[in-house]
Every structure is written in structure tokens, then in C-alpha cells.
Amino acid sequence: MALGPVGGRGGGGFGGRGLLRGTEDGMPPPVSITNRRMLGWFYTNLAPHWGKIALGFAAMLVSALAGLKIPLILRSIFDDGIANRNVAILLPLSIQFLVFTLLSQGFGAIRTLVMHLLGQRFVYTVRTQCYDHLLTLGLSYFHRQRSGDIMSRVSNDVGAVEDMVVHGTDDIISNLVNVVGAIGIMLWIHWKMALVALAPMPVFVISLWFLACYIRPVFNRIRKELGDINAKLQERIAGIQVIKSFAREEEEKKYFDESNHAYWRQNAKSIWIWSTYFPMISMITSAGLVVLIWYGAREAASGEGFLATAKTAGPGTVVAFLMYMQRFYQPIGALARVQNTINRCLASIARIFELLDEKPSVADKPDAVELGRVEGRVDIESVGFRYDTGETVLKNISVSAAPGETVAIVGRSGAGKSSLVSLIPRFYDPTEGRVLVDGKDLRDVTQASLRRNIGIVLQDTFLFNTTIRENIRYARADATDEEIEAAARRAHAHEFVLKFENGYDTVIGERGVRLSGGEKQRLSIARALLSDPRILILDEATSMVDTEAEQIIQAALTELMRGRTTFVIAHRLSTVRKADKICVIEGGEIVEQDDHDGLMARRGRYADMVSRQMQFEDEWGSPGWGSPALA
């Protein structure tokens, strides 16, 4: 099957008209993320890796608990060893300090390694899910969404969610262990000093709550602006030739700068928030430490209160307390940063869920059957069709094609020609009536088995940035080099392929930029020939090439059409004279249907179009692209 993007003149191109109007800004409504749904999503994707998760959490707990032991060892070194001049215990205590430091650092390294590997695996899984889901969506989704924004969701947003895995629950639990452990030990050492140390805690809690309420909308806007940048960049790169043709570089700089400046502004706002928040927290922490040092040092020096009667009273207690204060305040600050990460991730998760929540506009029934190799009879029965905007495009259309027949569809731009033929490969489902192939309703068979029987050659041929050989082979992955060359010969492409130094191994560039329009069309025909379809759709396949190229392409198309049921959309009426049946569409309805001679005898709409086109060709001496007869 010949594959390629939709597109055509006058907004046609397989149903492009009307689909760009989904919502006001072309975006789906925002998705609500409940905690249950988000946790369920993480569980589904992470459950297969429970072994790595368990190892990461075990390493985290050992690292945290070992770290909490270190200040107690230092306390003993100062108070029991140095203050009491007990040299004998210094070596065992020093060894303990080394062992627990190695445990803390070593298991911390294991935790970091395991969680980052897990995060990368999560990104791989989710990105695959998003891409696989994209391939199930109908063409209407891609008409409604900007390709750059879709790329941003699959690339940037999925990548951002990695931080939730690496720095999310794991960091929260690790920091909570340190906070709770530090509080418990400080209360055990000296409850009055612990109260002094914990005095700033309400300020932390209140500031975190305000921060969560204020920063999340900022991150939502950041992700949206990044999507806009990617969308504009992708579109402008694709249209760079048009930009340069009209010397619009300066205007394009301003146009791109709008999104770039909006993205910068939102990022600057988030940076301003954090650059204000953390210094404020640091000042509060520093003030608390100063008060703690003064209070602890005074008690240790005066020998009063609890320290006077404690078994290990001395400077070591103050040193240990300061270390636990650090282990208390650092995790609190880290929790604030984790909240920052989570808010960023929630904005990205919302955009990912919007993609994953999108339902395919065309889907196989659970009991859909394989179509198999068809004879090629197509029956379009009383079909009506309208887009999701409610705009009616086709009304009560009935057309039949026997195996091997050629049916031409003609009419003005926007009359519904491309929308009609797009129902045959089931890119859309009719809203009324039905389409049958060999007597089977297309909604009762699998899409893949149907499309294996259909070849499509479009006006705007799409080729991948790979070799000529691989572009032809795209129709059938198991094709041999001999079969590829045979298809190219039948499509009259072999001759120009051999002109390239690398022949069939020539890389043709993005969208085939190294080829002419006629050469691209011939490769598209070769691709369709290789798939050997029983049903063929030609959507203005020669409308954008010169006369010489058209003659070669017509010869290739004649070879392609031989023995196949063919639906032809053409503006040049000279190309459809030999069709078995010609359907004239106006306003989404068939107004005339017969062969060329029968329609000319009626002296109706078709005869008028032929007359006007012949007059145009006489005046201009060429077939005339976009003839006024059909414009």
C-alpha cells in the first residue's frame, strides 16, 4: 500500500477540510488528574520492575539510617573520647565513623544508579505507549493537532516525567526518614534544644502550601508555551522554501519571538519564585542555627540544665545537634525542590494524559474479521458524512465499481471528492449509509486487512529521509531487491534511479528534496505497484508536474491501474475520458453519473466543465493547472 500524509488543494486531500476547527485553539479540553488515576498509571508502568524498586528503596533506607548514626558517633568521639581523654575508644569510634560513612555513601550510590536506570526505563515505556497510541488515532486527530505540539508531548513531556520516578516518591521517603529520624534523636538528646530547632517549621509548612498553589499554574503555562515553540519551529522548518521565496525572514523572526518570549517570561517567573523562596528559607534556617549555637554553647559552658547531668555532656552534644539540624533542614529544602519537580511533572502528565485519552475516530470492532485478498468490488451505499464540527460534507451518495473498473470523481475544489474516497480505506467512517468491499461492510473487517488491499497515490507525495530502496520497500517489508527493481521499472523510475551515483541506495533527503516532483510521483507509483493492491486511489496524481513528466507518469499509472478497481480524482478532465464511470460532485452530492460520452450527450454540468477547460487550454496552450472549469 502506498502511504503518505494527507493533503490536497482547496483543503481537500483526504478530508482535510473542516477538521482544523475542533476547539477554538485546536486543543482538546484540559484533563483532570486525580491522585488515584496518577498513582494507578505509575503502578501499571512500574509494577513490572518491582525488583529494581525494592532494591532502590532498600538502598535508600540503609543510606539514610547509616547517615543518621554518624552524628552520634561524632558526639561520642568529642564527649567520651576527647573531653574525657579516653584515647582507647578513639580508634573503634573512628572505624565506626568510616564504616557508617561508607555505608551511607555506597548505598546512596546504589540507590542513585538503580533509580536513574528505572527512570530511563519508565521514559522508554511511556514514550512507546504514546507513539503506539498515536498510530491508532484517526486522521482527524492529526488534522486538529499541530505536529510540533504532538512531538513536544512525546519527547519533552515524557522526558520531564522521568524526574517524578527518580526524584519523586523515593526522595520524599528518604527525606522524611531523615527528618523524622533527626527530630526523634534531637528530642532524645535535648528536648529544649529540639524545640528551638523546630521553631521555624511552621514557616516551612505554610510557605510550601502557598508555593504549591502559585507555582503549578506557572509550570502548566511553561509546558504549553514549549509546545507552541516546537509547533512553530517544526512548521517553519517544513515551509522554509516558502519563507525565503517571499522574503519573510524578518516577519518570521517576530512571529517566532512571540512564543519564545512567552516561554522565557513564564520560565523567568518560575526562576524569580525559586530565587526568592530558597534564600528566604535559608535566612530562616541560618537564624535558627545561630540561636541554637548560642543556646547550646551557653548550656554546655555553664554546666546547667540537662547537659550538666547528662552522661556525655559536652561540646560533642552541640556538634551532634548541629549535624542533626542540618539533616533536618536539608531534607525540608529538598522536599520543597521535590514539590517543584512534582509540579513540573504534573503539567507534563496532564499533556500526556490528553494524548492517551484521545479515542480513535475509527476503530476495529472486537469481532472484526480479516478481509483477505479481495476481488475489488466497491459499493458506496447512500453515504452521508460530516466532520466533528457538524459540517456536512457528503449527502446520500451511492457509487458502485465492479472489479477492474475505473471510477473518476470530478467537481470543484471543496465539493467533497477527497472526503468520498477517504471512506474507502476507512480513514473515516460515514455518518450515514455504508461502504462495502466484496459485499463486506468495512466496519466489520480489520483496518489492516482492508488497507493491504488498497494502494494510494497522492498529489503531495510523501517520501522518507532514507534510500530510494527503502522508500519503495515501505509498501512491503519482505520485498526482495529484485522485486523492488521490477516495481521501479514498471513505474518508469528505474531509469532516473540509475543516474544517481549510489542508485537505489541514494538517500533522497527529507520529503525527497533531492528529487523532482515527477520523480517523487514515480517512486510513489512504484511503492503502490510493490504492494500489488486490488483497489487503487489516485488523488490528482499528475496535477503538479510538467507535461513531459505527466506523460511518463500517465504511462506508469496505466501500468498501475491495469486489472485494478481504480478511483481517480482529477482536475484535468483529459485524464478521465476513458473511465468506465464519471461522477460529478457538487455540494457533497452526485449531480451526474455516466461515462464520458453519456455525460457529454446530456450537455449538463460535466459537458460545461469540459468546454470551459478546452477553451482555457486553447488560450494558454497547456493543460492548465487549476483550470477555471474546476477551480
Cβ atoms 586, 412 nearer than 8 A: yes
Q: Which amino acid is at 290?
A: V
HSE-CB at 569 with a 13 A cutoff on CA atoms is 27
Res 403: pLDDT: 92
Beta strand ranges found along 312-413 (DSSP E) = 378-386, 392-401, 406-411
Nine cell digits for residue 377: 468490488
The C-alpha R_g of the chain, in whole angstroms, comes to 35
Res 212: pLDDT: 64
Q: Which of 20-29, 200-209, 306-315 has the lowest mean pLDDT?
A: 20-29
Percent above pLDDT 70 for the chain: 80
Of 83, 81, 162, 82, the C-alpha closest to 121 is: 162
Task: Answer whether residue 346 shows pLDDT above 90.
Answer: no
Pairing of the two strands 535-539 and 454-458: parallel
For residues 153, 154, 155, 157, the Cα torsion angle rounded to the nearest 10 degrees is 40
Cβ atoms 459, 482 nearer than 8 A: no
**Residues with Cβ < 8 Å from 393, sequence gap 6 or more?**
15, 17, 18, 385, 386, 387, 416, 419, 588
pLDDT tens digits for range 468-500: 999 899 888 888 999 999 888 888 888 889 988
**Distance, CA of 20 to CA of 27 (rounded, Å):** 10
Cβ atoms 463, 515 nearer than 8 A: yes
Pairing of the two strands 589-594 and 440-441: unpaired
Find how far residue 64's CA is from the centre of its chain.
38
Task: Answer whether residue 614 shows pLDDT above 50.
Answer: yes
Q: Which amino acid is at 96?
A: Q
Cβ atoms 437, 534 nearer than 8 A: no
User: Nearest 5 degrees, angle CA 413-CA 417-CA 4?
Assistant: 100
Residue with cell 484535468: 572
Q: Tell me the C-alpha to C-alpha distance, in Å, between residue 155 and each of 151, 348, 631.
A: 6, 11, 41
HSE-CB at 93 with a 13 A cutoff on CA atoms is 18
**Residues with Cβ < 8 Å from 517, sequence gap 6 or more?**
461, 544, 545, 549
Helix H or strand E encompassing 441: strand 440-441
**Residues with Cβ < 8 Å from 566, sequence gap 6 or more?**
405, 406, 407, 535, 536, 537, 538
**Predicted TM-score (pTM) of this structure:** 0.71
Largest interatomic CA distance in the chain? 121
For residues 541, 543, 548, 553, the Cα torsion angle rounded to the nearest 10 degrees is 10
**Distance, CA of 65 to CA of 182 (rounded, Å):** 10
HSE-CB at 498 with a 13 A cutoff on CA atoms is 7
pLDDT tens digits for range 142-169: 878 877 788 888 888 888 787 777 767 7
**Distance, CA of 326 to CA of 285 (rounded, Å):** 9
Mean pLDDT computed over 426-439: 92
Nine cell digits for residue 468: 530510494
**Distance, CA of 544 to CA of 548 (rounded, Å):** 12
> Residue 594: beta bridge partners?
582
Of 4, 3, 9, 7, the C-alpha closest to 630 is: 9
Q: Which of 26-35, 51-60, 577-586, 614-623 has the lowest mean pLDDT?
A: 26-35
The neighbour count for residue 476, using CB atoms within 10 Å, is 17
Q: How confident is the model at residue 613 (pLDDT cuts 50, 70, 90)?
A: confident
What are the backbone dihedrals phi and psi of residue 567, each rounded to the nearest 5 degrees, phi first?
A: -110, 120
Mean pLDDT computed over 394-410: 91
Of 322, 534, 571, the C-alpha closest to 449 is: 534
**Distance, CA of 290 to CA of 521 (rounded, Å):** 78
Task: Answer whether residue 372 shows pLDDT above 70.
Answer: yes
Q: Is 4 helix (H, G, I), strand (E, B) or coil?
A: coil
**Distance, CA of 598 to CA of 579 (rounded, Å):** 12
Of 531, 547, 463, the C-alpha closest to 497 is: 463
pLDDT tens digits for range 310-323: 443 467 777 777 78
Pairing of the two strands 378-386 and 454-458: unpaired
Mean pLDDT computed over 406-426: 88
**Residues with Cβ < 8 Å from 336, sequence gap 6 or more?**
204, 207, 208, 211, 277, 278, 281
Res 35: pLDDT: 67
Mean pLDDT computed over 385-408: 87
Mean pLDDT computed over 207-228: 71
pLDDT tens digits for range 249-275: 777 778 778 878 887 887 787 777 767
Q: How confident is the model at residue 380 (pLDDT cuts 50, 70, 90)?
A: very high
**Distance, CA of 326 to CA of 328 (rounded, Å):** 5
Cβ atoms 140, 388 nearer than 8 A: yes
Domains of the chain as residue ranges with CATH:
47-357 (1.20.1560.10)
Res 397: pLDDT: 92
Return the DSSP state at 488. H
User: Nearest 5 degrees, angle CA 133-CA 152-CA 233?
Assistant: 130
Return the DSSP state at 445. B
Of 138, 11, 57, the C-alpha closest to 425 is: 138
Comparison of pLDDT for 307 and 578, the residue scoring more: 578
